[in-house]
């Protein structure tokens, strides 16, 4: 019998249900249409219909169904037809209801009554909150200092559109919309080289998958969308998976080969591989000559200095392995090399990322089936009337047209505020937690506490995060399960698609979606700004996709409401190698291995290996500290979920067994970890799966706000589960950003998360 | 396998070549079955093997085997545990007195006391979903599709084909329980009940 369930939805609801009881699964007629999906109540056996929406826990943006029972969300499952997640979602997605029904959610606007951070609040009305914010913004207007408004939000298509529109209408350029800390490096390297923000590895069709510092089985921009395709490629195409990583991650632990490389030296390995490929005539000369801006001869000459022997000396990977992997990679096409935070979140991240792109380019895997593909996605258009976009001088927004990134990196923004280069009148953060997620989080915490530097601070959030706790006013935001949004994640089917998020239930309490909050503020600020937000949320979203004709013909937003996603089904097989017709989105129209823009700014124009000083001069008893994300938590937003924190709530320090023996450490012993910024104490987890020169620790632990669960404390509430926190004794671990100092990439200015050198002492 | 002709007999295959230890099964099971904190009906055991740099990691998702010959059923003094015709083993919440005899007798340690209701519960292959023609929650949600559920008596079902084509293992075959959860490519050490959980 064919696979049942998903595609086998019983016709006629309950009648079909009765038929099937006791009978073979899957009997009954099949409805070919994929939506709506059904689910069944465990106790009452009532049929539930799924409301299609989109998960925004992480940037993978999977299509999900929310199943409700008497108006309460009870289950989340993936949307079958969604071209990326194909009916699946991860543990964080499944645990979305913990976030929605969090007992400690903020449900009314709050105003600080004590000093900043004291934790004394009073509930106020929306009217009062909006009036206070508007009066502060009007003060800035009167002083003609609109640029002193900074609005920080996460990178997501609709949120960016709304926030930027408001900021343009108000007259401040300082909408800080890049993704998380550290991603600037990857984005910069990608834009410089081929004009896109990130790559889509078409791993499903690959024969050889090479990972550098990437851990798709646990955490990646595309997480399960990428991971499940790697699994498919391995089991169905017998693709080989090879991982270079300092730590044995879930991915490297399941790879065919794992090479523990010295931290920060991946680039030299990649360049040596490129050298082998060029020298042995395995390169795609046609691609290099016609579609890149360097000649094969010049490239071969440039690469000849990076020999496998040199790579061995620097990275610790035997030359023979470098040669072997290079040969396999170049000959088992299609192949793809994928980078991850492990290499781009170093201070040489931009250069290293460019090396990975070079490896994919010289083997002719660029935008090829099974290779390293251009992201295919839709852009949203700014609906009419469009604000003029008149902006004043800013220290953190790049106004020159040739800058690759729109605004300063998050690290630079904090730095500019700290040093007084960017004056702040009003700071608004939306679902963003800089106090927790910045390096040197204690320093950042002091900055946000300082009322002279940040005179007025508004946090828009659903939870009392470390950042919201320091706000003057907290506005309750609707979570992703209660608001409308449009997404267009880079497509793995190579056919761009739109994914839609709609409220599964009405916003709880008095919480409001970001659109309605911004709308209220603009209305209060007067008709000059209010006119840009006159329409309703749905109309606004409809207008922002009205340029996609075929979607409008299919019913526009109403079609999305029904199915949750849309793509043009009538198109032929997706064409690869788009660049053959259109070229690349760079000044030369070519794949820029040589970057004139980097040379102009005084950087090395070629993909290169830049040694990181502190890491290469290693003294006795020092280790490189590597923070890592786990598979059940996002970077900072899931810690208050009982379902997820039960699985992972604390973070012992990973240390190599041979080192542990030297220090006489046993599992669970306490150590002191000292960096130049400070010290923490934590337990150790002794493992064979880590480079001896590295210690590693998980992120999203050690919260000091956010709620009881995030702090591993049980409490009495209307939900009996909140008093069953059995891991109270184990504690919630330690937040590693306390000892990670700010360290920026020389080119991309993104945080070098992996560059901290620490000493370990047994306590 | 006892041959019950033309009868459905449910079972599950977990293909560990595909498992990536993401814990989606653990969470979706908890949400679907309202399992409180402190106990799991399905979880992922992680085992690390080898010496640096030759190290491997293995995963082993564990759940009730819904055995053909369940010891727990024989031991229940109040007949709260019973087996359906399709083989699924169920605990009747109205009969269970929470004496834990079944927990003690289960070789797989997959039964637990619900800390709120104080009765014994376990994985039931999501029989409420199965009866409605749906897959169990963990199977439905498994991102790489490592879990396959279906009728063992139907030679055309995906699970029967997988079992016919691959070598499979079950946990503690020496107990004579005839488990109905089969593993493909399970790590021998991970299957050892005393293997360290990393």
B85-110 pLDDT, tens digit each: 999 999 999 999 999 999 999 999 99
Mean pLDDT calculated for residue range B50-59:
92
DSSP helix/strand/coil, A581: helix
Range(s) of chain A covered by CATH 3.40.50.740: 110-181+379-478+504-535
Is the pLDDT at A632 greater than 90, yes or no? yes
| Mean pLDDT along residues A86-114 | 95
Chain A closest-CA separation from residue B21 CA (Å): 7
pLDDT, average across residues B8-34: 95
Q: Which pLDDT tens digit goes with each residue over A292-322? A: 999 999 999 999 999 999 999 999 999 999 9
pLDDT for residue A400: 61
Q: Distance of CA A506 to CAs A71, A513, A696, B102, B112, Å? A: 9, 10, 42, 44, 36
**pLDDT grade, residue A23 (50/70/90)?**
very low
Task: Please report which helix (H) or strand (E) contains residue A286, including its range.
Answer: helix A285-291
Q: Which residues contact A212 (CB under 8 A, 6 or more apart)?
A: A244, A245, A266, A269, A270, A337, A338, A339, A340, A342, A343, A352, A356
Q: Which CATH class is domain A110-181+379-478+504-535?
A: alpha beta
Residues of B in contact with A25 (CB under 8 A): 8, 130, 133, 150-151
Listed residue (A222, A236, A161, A269) closest to A373, CA to CA = A222
pLDDT digits (tens, 9 = 90+) for A549-580: 999 998 899 999 988 999 988 776 678 999 99
Indicate if the pLDDT at residue B53 is higher than 80.
Answer: yes
The whole-number pLDDT of residue B188 equals 86
Backbone conformation region of residue A668, classed left if phi is above 0, alpha if psi is from -120 to 50, else beta: left
CB of A610 less than 8 A from some CB of B: no
Non-local (6+) Cβ contacts of A534 within 8 A are: none
Q: What is the number of CB-based contacts under 8 A between chain A and chain B?
A: 188
Instruction: Collect all residues of chain A within an 8 Å Cβ-Cβ radius of residue B28.
Output: 77, 91, 94
Does residue A762 have a pLDDT over 60? yes
The H or E element that residue A160 is part of is helix A157-170
Q: What's the pLDDT at A657? A: 95
* Chain A nearest CA to B38, separation (Å): 6
Considering only residues 57 to 116 of chain B, which have any Cβ-Cβ distance to chain A shorter than 8 Å?
57-58, 85-86, 115-116
Token output for A259? 């090479």
* pLDDT tens figures, A231-290: 999 999 999 999 999 999 999 999 999 999 999 999 999 999 999 999 999 999 999 999
Q: Please give, one letter per residue, the 3-state secondary structure of A648-675.
A: CCCCCEEEEHHHHHHCCCCCCCEEEEEC
- What pLDDT, on the 0 to 100 scale, is given for residue A19? 36
Distance from the A156 Cα atom to the nearest Cα atom in chain B, whole angstroms: 24
Per CATH, the number for A195-373 is 3.40.228.10
* Residue in chain B nearest A238 by alpha carbon: B17
* A-chain residue closest to B42, CA distance: A647
Any CB–CB contact under 8 A between A6 and chain B? yes
State the CATH class of domain A613-762.
mainly beta
Rounded to an integer, the average pLDDT of B166-188 is: 93
* DSSP designation for A512: B
For residues A372 and A360, give the distance between their C-alpha atoms in angstroms, rounded to a whole number. Answer: 7
ipTM above 0.90, yes or no: yes
pLDDT, tens digit (0-9, with 9 covering 90-100), for A113-127: 999 999 999 999 999
Q: Which residue of A has its CA nearest to B93?
A: A43
Contacts of A259 in chain B (CB under 8 A): 53
What mean pLDDT value characterizes chain A?
Answer: 90
Domain A37-89: give its CATH code: 2.20.25.90
Confidence at A20, pLDDT banded by 50, 70, 90: very low
Is B156 touching A (CB cutoff 8 A)?
yes
Q: How many CA atoms lie within 13 A of A404 on its CB side?
A: 28
Strands A485-487, B42-51: pairing is unpaired
Name the closest residue on chain A to residue B140, using Cα atoms: A88
Q: Mean per-residue pLDDT for A142-154?
A: 91
d(CA B176, CA A458): 64
Q: Which two tokens stand for residue A121?
A: 């609040």
Q: Does A684 touch chain B (CB under 8 A)?
A: no
Name the E strands within A163-277: 175-176, 200-201, 208-212, 240-244, 257-259
* pTM exceeding 0.90: yes
B10-191: CATH architecture: 2-Layer Sandwich (3.30)
Q: Which chain A residue lies closest to B29 (C-alpha atoms)?
A: A94
Strand blocks (E) in B64-187: 81-83, 89-91, 112-113, 120-121, 147-151, 168-169, 181-184
Q: Which of A27, A97, A685 comes nearest B31 by C-beta?
A: A97
Taking CA atoms, A151 is separated from A155, A431, A520, B85, B179, in Å, by: 12, 11, 16, 62, 58
Contact list in B for residue A647 (CB cut-off 8 A) is 23, 26-27
Provide, as residue numbers in chain A, all residues whose Cβ is less than 8 Å from the Cβ of B34. Answer: 42
What span, in angstroms and rounded, lies between the C-alpha atoms of A684 and A660?
9
What percent of chain A clears pLDDT 90, i.e. is strictly above it?
79
Give the residue among B169, B155, B143 at the shortest CA–CA distance from B13. Answer: B169
Residue ranges of chain A assigned to CATH 2.20.25.90: 37-89
Cβ contact A253–B57 (<8 Å): yes
* Residues of each domain in chain A carrying CATH 3.40.228.10: 195-373
> Judged by CB atoms within 8 Å, which residues 313-372 of A form the interface with B?
none
Q: What's the pLDDT score for residue A482?
A: 95
**Residue keyed to tokens 């009148």:** A425
Q: Is A3 near chain B, with CB under 8 Å?
A: yes
Nearest CA distance, B96 vs chain A (angstrom): 17
Measured CA to CA, the distance from residue A109 to residue A122 in angstroms comes to 8
């Amino acid at each position: 019998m064919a696979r049942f369930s998903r595609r086998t939805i019983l016709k006629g609801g309950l009648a079909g249900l009765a038929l099937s009881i006791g009978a073979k699964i899957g009997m009954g007629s099949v409805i070919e249409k994929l939506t709506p999906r059904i689910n069944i109540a465990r106790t009452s056996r009532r049929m539930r219909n799924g409301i299609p929406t989109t998960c925004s826990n992480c940037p993978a943006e999977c299509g999900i169904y929310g199943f409700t029972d008497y108006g309460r969300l009870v289950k989340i499952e993936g949307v079958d037809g969604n071209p990326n997640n194909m009916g699946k979602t991860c543990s964080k997605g499944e645990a979305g209801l913990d976030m929605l029904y969090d007992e400690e959610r903020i449900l009314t606007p709050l105003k600080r009554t004590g000093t900043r951070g004291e934790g004394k609040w009073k509930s106020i009305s929306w009217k009062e909150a909006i009036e206070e914010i508007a009066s502060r913004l009007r003060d800035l207007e009167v002083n003609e200092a609109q640029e002193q408004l900074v609005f920080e939000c996460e990178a997501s298509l609709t949120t960016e559109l709304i926030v930027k529109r408001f900021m343009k209408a108000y007259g401040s350029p300082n909408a800080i919309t890049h993704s998380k800390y550290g991603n600037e490096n990857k984005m910069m390297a990608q834009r410089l080289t081929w004009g896109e923000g990130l790559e889509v590895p078409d791993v499903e069709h690959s024969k050889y998958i090479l990972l550098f510092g990437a851990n798709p089985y646990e955490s990646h921009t595309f997480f399960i969308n990428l991971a499940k395709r790697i699994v498919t490629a391995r089991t169905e195409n017998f693709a080989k998976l090879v991982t270079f990583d300092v730590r044995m991650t879930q991915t490297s632990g399941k790879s065919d080969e794992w090479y523990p490389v010295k931290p920060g030296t991946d680039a030299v390995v990649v360049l040596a591989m490129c050298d082998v490929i060029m020298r042995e005539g395995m390169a795609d000369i046609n691609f290099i000559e016609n579609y890149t801006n360097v000649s094969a001869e010049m490239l071969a000459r440039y690469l000849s200095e990076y020999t496998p022997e040199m790579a061995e000396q620097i990275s610790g990977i035997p030359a023979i392995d470098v040669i072997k992997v290079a040969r396999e990679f170049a000959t088992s096409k299609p192949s793809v090399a994928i980078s991850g935070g492990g290499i781009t979140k170093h201070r040489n991240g931009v250069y290293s990322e460019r090396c990975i792109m070079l490896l994919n380019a010289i083997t002719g895997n660029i935008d090829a089936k099974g290779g390293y593909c251009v992201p295919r996605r839709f852009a949203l258009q700014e609906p009419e009337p469009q604000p003029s976009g008149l902006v004043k001088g800013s220290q953190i927004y790049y106004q020159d047209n040739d800058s690759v990134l729109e605004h300063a990196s998050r690290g630079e923004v904090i730095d500019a505020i700290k040093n007084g280069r960017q004056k702040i009148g009003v700071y608004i953060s939306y679902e963003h937690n800089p106090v927790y997620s910045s390096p040197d989080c204690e320093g950042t915490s002091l900055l946000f506490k300082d009322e002279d530097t940040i005179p007025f601070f508004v946090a828009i959030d659903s939870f009392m995060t470390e950042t919201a706790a320091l706000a003057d006013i907290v506005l309750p935001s609707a979570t992703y399960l209660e608001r409308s949004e449009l997404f267009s994640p880079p497509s793995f089917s190579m056919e761009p698609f739109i994914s839609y998020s709609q409220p599964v239930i009405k916003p709880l309490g008095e919480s409001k979606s970001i659109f309605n909050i911004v709308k209220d503020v603009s209305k209060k600020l007067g008709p000059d700004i209010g006119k840009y937000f006159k329409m309703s949320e749905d109309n606004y979203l409809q207008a922002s996709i009205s340029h996609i004709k075929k979607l409008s013909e299919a019913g526009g937003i109403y079609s999305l409401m029904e199915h949750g996603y849309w793509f043009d089904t009538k198109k032929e097989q997706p064409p690869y190698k788009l660049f053959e017709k259109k070229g690349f989105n760079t000044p030369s129209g070519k794949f820029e291995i040589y970057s004139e823009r980097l040379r102009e700014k005084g950087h090395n124009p070629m993909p290169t290996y830049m040694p990181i000083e502190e890491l290469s001069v290693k003294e006795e008893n020092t280790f490189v500290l590597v923070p890592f994300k786990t598979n059940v938590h996002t970077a900072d937003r899931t810690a208050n979920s009982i379902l997820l924190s039960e699985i992972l709530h604390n973070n012992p320090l990973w240390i190599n067994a041979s080192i542990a023996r030297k220090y006489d450490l046993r599992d669970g012993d306490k150590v002191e970890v000292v960096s130049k910024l400070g010290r923490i104490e934590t337990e150790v987890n002794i493992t064979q799966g880590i480079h001896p020169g590295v210690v590693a620790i998980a992120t999203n632990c050690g919260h000091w706000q956010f709620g009881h669960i995030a702090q591993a404390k049980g409490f009495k509430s209307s939900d009996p589960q909140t008093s069953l926190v059995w891991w109270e004794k184990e504690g919630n671990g330690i937040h590693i950003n306390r000892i990670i100092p700010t360290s920026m990439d020389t080119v991309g200015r993104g945080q070098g998360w992996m560059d901290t050198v620490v000493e370990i002492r047994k306590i | 396998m006892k041959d019950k002709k033309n009868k459905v007999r449910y079972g599950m295959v977990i293909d560990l070549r595909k498992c990536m230890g993401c814990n989606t099964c653990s969470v979706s099971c908890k949400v679907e079955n309202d399992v409180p904190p402190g106990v799991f009906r399905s979880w992922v055991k992680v085992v690390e093997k080898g010496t640096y740099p030759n190290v491997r990691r293995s995963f082993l998702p564990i759940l009730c085997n819904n055995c053909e010959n369940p010891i727990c059923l024989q031991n229940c003094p109040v007949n709260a545990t019973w087996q359906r015709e399709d083989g699924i083993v169920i605990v009747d919440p109205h009969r269970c007195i929470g004496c834990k005899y079944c927990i003690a007798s289960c070789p797989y340690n997959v039964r637990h006391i619900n800390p709120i209701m104080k009765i014994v519960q376990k994985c039931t292959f999501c029989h409420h979903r199965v009866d409605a023609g749906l897959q169990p929650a963990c199977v439905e949600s498994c991102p790489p599709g490592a879990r396959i559920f279906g009728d063992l008596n139907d030679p055309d079902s995906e699970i029967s084909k997988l079992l016919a084509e691959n070598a499979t293992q079950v946990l503690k075959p020496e107990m004579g329980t005839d488990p109905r959860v089969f593993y493909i490519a399970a790590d021998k050490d991970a299957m050892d009940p005393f293997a360290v959980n990393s």
